Chain A
Amino acid sequence: MSKARSGLGAIASTVVAVVLLALLVVTLQMRAPQATEPVGGGAVPVSSGATLSEAPAADVGEGISLGPAKPAEPPNAECLTYATVFDKILATVDDLARSSTAVVDATIEEVGPARWKTDTEQAPTEKQNLTSDRVMRLVRLSIAEDLSKRGASGSVVAWIPGGTMGCSKFLVDSYPVDLRVGDRFAFFLNSNNPPLAGLKGVSQVVEMWPIKDSVATSPELGDVSIADVSAAAARFLAP
């Protein structure tokens, strides 16, 4: 009987110890900084919630790895082209600025590999979902000027649809498939549409217009002066 009692006591002590340990782990996890949210499979921290719209002066993207934890695989061995054309109601510069969270004059500093923009970060299993807009790249942009006058500077990580995986190309209308470091664009960014749950704060490149001689060229609107882009961006986005 006493043996049984002492046995029960040992079990109770073990249970209490386990509960205390679990509580300790939960407490530590709750106290851990939000900045440890996983990026693309979980290896690299990202500043959770730090968006250009919320923290314009901060560098968003320092230290973020642009690649997934596991290299993305093309859907099959055959070299195919996947292309998507979207049809949109044309937007004026004002419309674009108003629906963006930031507009910056920036150069491409680093280009990440193409990766799947799916929950599993794997190729979709249903063929109707195997579309080129479900592939994207992370890019690090070096901001030359925040045209929306919100004080953003340094570098920012953003995502651009499309890319190349193996010998297969994933093309999305109006986004270049080949991105070159050093190329300069007017970027219309939206931080409200992260590509993956683990990439909060990473802005979507809604439009990217190549800049040459203070003129940005829109595929639909043609040449627009940077001064006009800046005026529109400041009108709707400046604090």
Chain B
Amino acid sequence: MTIGRLRRAMMRAAGVAIALSLIVAPGLLAYNQLIPPGGPNAIGSCTGSGTSPCYHWAKTAGNLSINVDVYLEVSLVGQEVDLRQEALNTMTSYNGIAARNPHLQQTTSTSSEEIYVSAANLNNPRALGGTSFTVNATGLISYATIRFNTQVEWDTNYDYTCRFVAGGNEVCKADASKVLRHEFGHAEGLAHIGTAVGVMIQGDPGPNYHSLQADDKNGIIHIYGAYP
């Protein structure tokens, strides 16, 4: 190979690399901000290291993931949509990411659970769900609670609307499949995103996501690392 051919080959390779980086970069840049130990109020200031670690479960090396026990309260079954089945589907989705994020497994014991999932009245018709954490100073999550609002009329039609009814109260509808994936995303450490590129968009119907998107998976990989 002459020097000229070698130079041309190297330039072609460089061009391919630049083109690839342009394709990949937006996805990498778009991963979720992560919830910092300063709390949801401080979303955006979390850098993931040093004095600003992000909320996360224990991390492992290699291809291992820690197991996290999830208790699904019976209240989830009595809603318009079977939220317990949706929760199980959601857990499978997160377990399917090629990352070292926690392996979510159902438990029937309320003494050993690390994530407690229930349906409850959140006293705000516009609140779809809420995720609560207990974390230490390094952002390590030791316990999480996920609640879905019983005031909401749950469906799977991707219907996000509110209406005022007699007495001046509001009644809202929401898509169970997306909200379940959203709340479990919080429980894994993901925060909200500002654009509708994944299930972690807040309060906006956006595209009809019933499955985790690249942005959601990239967020998980960013926190826990991909399988090597």
Residues of A within 8 A of B (CB): 78-91, 95, 98-99, 127-133, 169, 171-177, 193, 206, 220
Contacts and interface: CB of A to CB of B under 8 A. Distances in A.
B168 A132 contact: no
Contacts of A79: 136-137
A132 to B, nearest CB: 6
B40 A89 contact: no
B222 to A, nearest CB: 18
B164 A171 contact: no
18 contacts: A81-B136, A81-B137, A83-B40, A84-B131, A85-B192, A86-B127, A87-B127, A87-B129, A87-B179, A88-B202, A89-B126, A89-B128, A89-B172, A127-B143, A171-B38, A171-B39, A175-B41, A206-B124
Given A84-B132, A128-B116, A173-B40, A89 B160 contact: yes
Contact of A83 (B35, B124, B142): B35
A148 to B, nearest CB: 14
A79 B145 CA distance: 19
Contact of A130 (B123, B131, B134): B134
A203 B216 CA distance: 38
Contacts of A80: 134-136, 142
A99 B123 CA distance: 12
A65 to B, nearest CB: 25
A132 B132 contact: yes
Given A80-B135, A98-B164, A173-B39, 9 more contacts: A81-B37, A81-B134, A87-B128, A89-B172, A89-B174, A99-B125, A127-B116, A171-B40, A176-B41
B100 interface: no
Q: Is the interface of A mostly helix, strand, loop or mixed?
A: mixed
User: Which 8 residue pairs are nearest across A and B when measured between Cβ atoms?
Assistant: A171-B39, A131-B132, A128-B116, A90-B203, A173-B40, A84-B132, A86-B130, A83-B39
A83 B170 contact: no
A89 B123 CA distance: 14
Interface residues of B, number: 48
Nearest to A204: B123
A202 to B, nearest CB: 14
A209 B161 CA distance: 24
A80 B143 CA distance: 11
Nearest to B110: A128
B90 interface: no
Given A81-B135, A99-B170, A86 B162 contact: no
B118 A128 contact: yes
B84 interface: no
Contacts of B133: 81-84
Interface in B34-58: 35, 37-41, 55
B217 interface: no
